[in-house]
Chains A and B, each alone.
Chain A
Amino acid sequence: MSSPNKNLPGWIDVGLIPLINISLAFLVSGFVIWLIGEDPIEAVKIMINGAFGYDEALGYTLYYTTNFVFTGLAVAVAFHASLFNIGGEGQAYIGGLGVGLLCLLLDQYFPLWLILPLAIIASGLFGAAWAYIPAYLQAYRGSHIVITTIMFNFIAAALMNYLLVNILIAPGSGSPESRVFEETAWLPFMHEIFAWFGAEITRSPLNLSIVLAAIASVFVWFFIWHTRWGYAIRMLGHNENAAQYSGIDTKRVIIGTMCLSGALASFVGINEIMGVHHRILLEFTAGYGFTGIAVSLMGRNHPIGIIIASLLFGALYQGGAELAFEIPTIQKEMITTIQGLVILFCGALALMIRPTLERLFSNFTQNNKTAVVE
């Protein structure tokens, strides 16, 4: 997103500036907490304890982290091609539909080891398909991807609403949810997996999907920086004309990137539908797609940064839930506020402090030089 600056050394650019931006976001968040009459320090203590203090909390934190890794990677991959995919929410929603349909179809006949790969494929296909249309329109008809992906989020919500209320609803059920899958289509929880090896950890929604998230992170790192396609994506992102003149089919790259992005976002469906809820239900995406944008901006579009940012947001979500329990005036919307501030400072205002730092740094180096001459 931001071009590297020659005037500043790398460690300031990738280390110090993001750190200052994040600190600013948290400072303002603390100020908001202080404004509503609560103690920010106390809130941070409760949050840290609520997110990491005991192993159930850690399980929840990692479970949220899994979702954010998927949506963060999705946004990052698109960012590398200089495409802004706001549609992660819709792609995750439709991806979950793919997972759910497959499970509803096969859960009575096949074992898990067969259903899982098929579910991953179904999820990826559905998510990619939902990203394909905006991508096609961007590549061939010149419509702005930001606007079309926003529209597709709403269309996805309406579609899912219709399907769940009218078609997929379990017979005799009052709420718009599909029937619960047979246990053959349940992803094992981490506490179950640990139990197979004789280790005991507390129950939490954390499930096998976190392994998928780890694989996806390595895959994205390898794909973006170590393959021909990744090179094409980054080239497109830096300079579309240059990419075109060097013989890259930019239209295909745009569509391919968006499909990959949609597929990554869709894996939220694996975690939520196959891993936790075991049925299709309304609004299971719960804003994870939008949080992915904050995660990607904060993680500077690199898988390692994204994992760190996801962990932070996972902790914010879980710690925030605990906080809402302890201090009733601070509800989950406070976490939404923090998320907005992170997007503001790490995204929109990312360049705010750079001129100041540049001046400081050049002053500093010049002083050093004169000192040497003297």
Chain B
Amino acid sequence: MDDFFLLSLSTLDSTLRLSTPLILCAMAGIFSERSGIIDIGLEGKLLAGAFAAAAAAAYSGSAMLGLTAAIFTSIAMALLHGFACITHKGNQVVSGLAINILASGLTVTFGIAWFHQGGQTPNLSGDARFSPVTLPGAEIIREVPFLGPIYTELLSGHNLLVYVAFLAVPLTWWILYKTRFGLRLRAVGENPQAVDTAGISVTFLRYRAVICAGILCGIAGAYLSTAHNAAFGREMSAGQGYIALAAMIFGKWRPVPGLLACLLFGFLNALAFRLEGVSVPGIGQIPVQLMQSLPYVLTVILLAGFIGKAIAPKAIGRPYVKER
């Protein structure tokens, strides 16, 4: 039983680590999509952020500079998305896709040109990475049964960005539901005409929404390359932006359910690692691929309306044209 407890602790521990980029990207998606801008470019912003963080950290030796670079790169991509779909009323899906493909091409192209390691960045160590943070009192209550291990093993000892991700959720919730900006942001995703009539610029509001998305994706990217791993590798986002998109839809475009969906998907992933090659009593071996595809399958089932109904913001995907 004790073994089982420790094993579940470590599975949950990796759940937290694997959910972190998903949570950040899902919150990013919520900002963008609640304002009416479809964001399938999460993946691209995540990847570009990861590359920028690793490259800046490799040159400067500072993880914080890496994080800053990641955030600015990701914001730049978000602004490009905004330029195409807000200013020029382009197709939002096409634009998002362009960003994803651009990111996957540019990261490796620049990676090869700058570091000559086949698209990888040099390995980071020391201050160039985010190191684990020990929460206060972790050592003292280590010996307390049950709660001690949960606190020291599960909650303490992650890097800064993991905590940032978990703080991003209440922050997103607060901004969306308790501030004037959030109210307007949600309004512009449902009924931009009304917002415009009230004398508020739809364009500026939506730009700010995609910038918020850019910031969060940038942090997620820095997490991938300078916290979770110690370098950038080609295609290292590996579809996690899309999983975050799925999680955001799974959470019906709301922060807390979105967080739960990310944790669920992260848990499935952690479990897939854990169960690889293990025979489960009564079932036998569960194919890893099944576990890996479950987030997608679940999202499709949700979208089909079999688990509640996922209703997107009303004005999503439609460029706003002012009446003349």
Q: Which residues from chain A sit less than 8 Å from chain B, CB to CB?
A: 1, 32, 35-37, 84, 86, 133, 137, 141-144, 146-148, 150-152, 154-155, 158-159, 161-162, 165-166, 290, 293-294, 297, 328-331, 333-341, 343-344, 347-352
Contact = CB atoms under 8 A, between A and B. Distances in A.
A333 B94 contact: no
Given A154-B293, A347-B98, A334 B246 contact: no
B27 interface: no
B300 interface: yes
The 4 closest A-B pairs by CB, nearest first: A337-B105, A336-B105, A340-B102, A348-B95
A151 B84 contact: no
Contact of A137 (B109, B239, B303): B303
Contacts of B308: none
Nearest to A36: B113
B305 A348 contact: no
A36 B289 contact: no
Given A32-B109, A162-B289, A331-B119, A348 B84 contact: yes
Given A146-B40, A330-B109, A336-B105, A347 B249 contact: no
Interface string B63-93: 0000000000000000010011100111101
Contact of A158 (B97, B113, B290): B290
A171 B152 CA distance: 48
A317 to B, nearest CB: 13
B98 to A, nearest CB: 4
Interface of B: 38, 40, 80, 83-85, 88-91, 93-95, 97-110, 112-113, 119, 234, 239, 242, 245-246, 249, 287, 289-290, 292-293, 296-297, 299-300, 303-305, 310, 312
Given A84-B93, A146-B93, A290 B101 contact: yes
Contact of A147 (B90, B102, B245): B245
A330 B90 CA distance: 30
B109 A155 contact: no
Contacts of B113: 35-37, 329
B88 A158 contact: no
* Chain A interface, >50% SS class: helix
Contact of B293 (A144, A158, A331): A158
B94 A348 contact: yes
Contacts of A351: 88-90
B312 A347 contact: no
Q: Which of A150, A293, A294 has the most CB of B within 10 A?
A: A150
30 contacts: A32-B106, A141-B305, A143-B303, A144-B303, A146-B40, A151-B242, A151-B300, A155-B297, A155-B300, A158-B296, A161-B289, A290-B97, A293-B94, A297-B94, A331-B112, A333-B108, A336-B104, A337-B105, A340-B98, A340-B106, A344-B84, A344-B95, A344-B102, A347-B95, A347-B97, A347-B98, A348-B85, A349-B83, A351-B88, A352-B88
A348 B245 contact: no
Contact of B90 (A143, A148, A329, A347): A347
Contacts of B98: 340-341, 343-344, 347-348
B97 A86 contact: yes
A36 B110 contact: yes
